[in-house]
Structure 1
């Protein structure tokens, strides 16, 4: 145990030593104008109101967006990654979006070892492929960075470029995918006018194709592999715009998040951009969680999560390195943020056991992101995840169905910190159903009391309620 030096935990003015701390994080809970468009306000949450009135001196409203959490500007929406990075580190960290901006503006991206590595492919006649979320939401990616990277590759000799797009509808309004794809088509047409063979090759919705996280459903990644790499999908069209329009016409219920996989084919019906030996592939997302699995599929020769059918030898890189512990991927265009001395590290150094609890789709938030983008259990003594049905959208589940079962915590060993994430409000908000968010908001804080009782923390030294990234639209 460390009691002095750089890892010393100094006495806290409020939280006593020797008693467990219960930290409950509310996913997507935000303070905003109290009007009819504010689901949290309209929910009339009795537990939150009681907490406010019981200890008004302990209630604080803080910024969870913009420069306050390391994003490029105060106009940038906060999100779970930056929120949990900041809370876990206890300080502001320059996030991926800001680092990529600087690398593009300075030109350092195109001098990096990672860029030189992928450049070797097209110097030797290979195609340059880019893959990622097509959006300007600024949570996982941003359109201007995508175009900046494509132009940089063209200026550095890439003659044949193929783009594989994942539609958003989660960090930006549903239906906006048509706008982003149309703009990308125009930008690629300008490149073609300069002699570059640049086309969109494949795509699908982010929640159905490629962008699974925390290994919740490898079928999502497999669908992406078949579309992007093999050029094989149930839907084939002459252009990306035709794909989005035709699929929507045939099934009006499809939204941007859940587009099925599709590929673009030529006049002979052959895919215009399968990924083959000798090509280069760059994932343009700067956020890690939803591209780690597809990165493993490209990077790991020994891979058993699904049958890849064909494993091309490519020069693969990420926009950033997505997992520092796994060194994944080995090559990247922009160095990721270095997050040291997190709260988890301090607790481990002082022998304080931590318990982290969440449901499947969010457990990495209270572990990976909280611990400074580190995987594994090194900073939590143990953790619990409650698996949600992989095929069920959060927006369609019963308004009274929780994402975790606090009774499962009973019988656990004593721990010094319990870190619990309640995912319901944020997950409902992603579905866009105002009334569902209100239903979730009413019940969430009461779960903190249930969990406290289940783990035997009636004498807890501190019970803290935090919000990770309350979006302003709430």
Structure 2
């Protein structure tokens, strides 16, 4: 039973990729016609909050991302992100002495097995960092592993597109400096990091990595020469020897290590590879803890994110409804809940799916109307204290690097926010709107040689936070400055008429 006494019901809208920057070249949000989003920032209490770097538990200067953004929004405190924990282990030497890693490498050295490293090859610091590959290669060399194969995933989103050659060149330099390693396969992240559930994309990478089955090329230069659709959609390609035979396949006695520190986009491939190799004698590890169906031992643990918004809603018996499209569904459930997989009795989850191919540039509206419909329906229920939703368009379309499509995505978002605000007023609800990280306010970035290139990645810019009061609700004229995403859960709880949880260090913005 939902506890309604003393509760002012509301809506939490996370506008994914809604960052703030002054108008300028490449700022799609400044170009877009968004009268509602612009207007509420001047009419209602608003501020800018930090969503990157140490403010949310990332390394200083590191761009924010959806995973840490939603975790910190939910936890009500900064959390040491997985990338920080990995770097700490590298800096202290803990990774070199990690018992799971040393045991696996020593077994490979003794038995002549090969180590297969799979990961995103860039320094975008969202899903992975190429320097972590260098450390893993160094450790493998020090433990006497002679055969190390790198299955590279090209980026084009977290870094500028058409820069894969630069990063693959760095990996080749790592091979030279450590004395071990060769590229075995190259695949675009559109295939390797799919999270839409399209297993046909994933299977192409699995077959290339495990069986050497796929397009063939002599080196990465030849691979990239045929990548007409950019780094994201590099066809999974197997590198060959002079005779045209695959350089590497996964064999009994080998080990696989997934080198991404962020799990949500690599776990579909990880599960598929585990299933594909179920009858093989292959040890499989991950750099950090993944939310996979398969039990994959991790080298580095994760921060405790419990005691946040979801736990407080449960403690007070307040029902919430979570709404998002497939691409961001985990963010308003699993990540907002502190990486807790259980669905609480006071939670309802609404996942918006579609039979249509994503086609984000052709359909920048995605399924936003259906997301808004679900939010409005939940807002009309008297037993629901909080509706929490992710509006994905600005970020998902922004990741394509297509400026014009991102402008349209922002305009569609503005129209649906208008619908939600109208419904909120009609049902007596307040609304908190906040970005989880920047993206669409910067759609170009200098490449390695300084030439501006389309950019679909995240930024270190602050994000807007706005509170639209319920009819008749009295709020301060402005929100507190100097805040971060860690202050959103305390703000929501204050609006609900409930105290912070004891684990929260954030403060209400009111």
Name the residue aligned to 2:320: 354
Q: Structure 2 CA distance, aligned partners of 1:44 and 1:349? A: 42
Counterparts in 2 of 1:411 and 1:338: CA distance versus 1, 3 Å: closer
For the aligned residues, what is the CA RMSD? 2.5
Q: Structure 1 CA distance, aligned partners of 2:238 and 2:356? A: 24
Name the residue aligned to 2:442: 473
Name the residue aligned to 1:288: 263
Name the residue aligned to 1:460: 428
Q: Structure 2 CA distance, aligned partners of 1:200 and 1:285? A: 17
Counterparts in 2 of 1:20 and 1:449: CA distance versus 1, 3 Å: farther
Q: Structure 2 CA distance, aligned partners of 1:158 and 1:225? A: 23
Q: Is the 8 A contact 2:36 2:417 kept in 1?
A: no
Query: Following TM superposition, by how much is the alpha carbon of 1:115 offset from its aligned partner in structure 2, in angstroms?
Result: 1.0
* Ranges in structure 2 where 5+ consecutive residues have no aligned partner: 444-510
Instruction: Give 2:298's match in structure 1, choosing from 332, 343, 353.
Output: 332
Counterparts in 2 of 1:279 and 1:379: CA distance versus 1, 3 Å: farther
**Structure 2 counterparts to residues 6-405 of structure 1, below 5 A:** 17-55=6-44, 58-73=45-60, 75-123=61-109, 124-192=111-179, 196=180, 198-207=181-190, 209-213=191-195, 216-233=197-214, 235-245=215-225, 247-248=226-227, 252=228, 254-299=229-274, 303=275, 308=276, 311-323=279-291, 329-378=295-344, 381-389=347-355, 391-397=357-363, 399-405=364-370
TM-score under structure 2 length normalisation:
0.80
Q: Is the 8 A contact 1:182 1:241 kept in 2?
A: no
Q: Structure 2 CA distance, aligned partners of 1:180 and 1:37? A: 24
Name the residue aligned to 2:491: none
- Match of 1:426, SS state, is helix
Q: Structure 2 CA distance, aligned partners of 1:105 and 1:92? A: 21
Q: Is the 8 A contact 1:132 1:165 kept in 2?
A: yes
Q: Structure 2 CA distance, aligned partners of 1:17 and 1:143? A: 51
Question: Could you report, residue by residue, the CA deviation over 1:358-398 in whole angstroms, capped at 9, with x for unpaired residues?
Answer: 1111111111221122334237622112224564331232x
- Match of 1:319, SS state, is strand
Q: Structure 2 CA distance, aligned partners of 1:143 and 1:460? A: 50
Q: Structure 2 CA distance, aligned partners of 1:263 and 1:443? A: 41
Q: Structure 1 CA distance, aligned partners of 2:237 and 2:83? A: 28
Query: Following TM superposition, by how much is the alpha carbon of 1:444 offset from its aligned partner in structure 2, in angstroms?
Result: 1.2
Instruction: Give 2:389's match in structure 1, choosing from 420, 423, 435.
Output: 420
Question: Could you report, residue by residue, the CA deviation over 1:88-131 in whole angstroms, capped at 9, with x for unpaired residues?
Answer: 11110011111111111111012223213422441322101100
- Match of 2:48, SS state, is coil
Question: Could you report, residue by residue, the CA deviation over 1:425-445 in whole angstroms, capped at 9, with x for unpaired residues?
Answer: 111211112222222222314
- Match of 1:130, SS state, is strand
- Match of 1:60, SS state, is strand
Q: Structure 1 CA distance, aligned partners of 2:98 and 2:299? A: 6
Query: Following TM superposition, by how much is the alpha carbon of 1:67 offset from its aligned partner in structure 2, in angstroms?
Result: 1.0
Counterparts in 2 of 1:109 and 1:191: CA distance versus 1, 3 Å: closer
Counterparts in 2 of 1:401 and 1:82: CA distance versus 1, 3 Å: closer
User: How many residue pairs align between the two structures?
Assistant: 437
Q: Is the 8 A contact 1:163 1:200 kept in 2?
A: yes
Counterparts in 2 of 1:310 and 1:89: CA distance versus 1, 3 Å: closer
Q: Structure 1 CA distance, aligned partners of 2:401 and 2:375? A: 31
Q: Structure 2 CA distance, aligned partners of 1:16 and 1:310? A: 53
Q: Is the 8 A contact 2:10 2:387 kept in 1?
A: yes
Q: Structure 1 CA distance, aligned partners of 2:14 and 2:332? A: 9
* Ranges in structure 1 where 5+ consecutive residues have no aligned partner: 4-14
TM-score under structure 1 length normalisation:
0.86
Counterparts in 2 of 1:188 and 1:341: CA distance versus 1, 3 Å: same
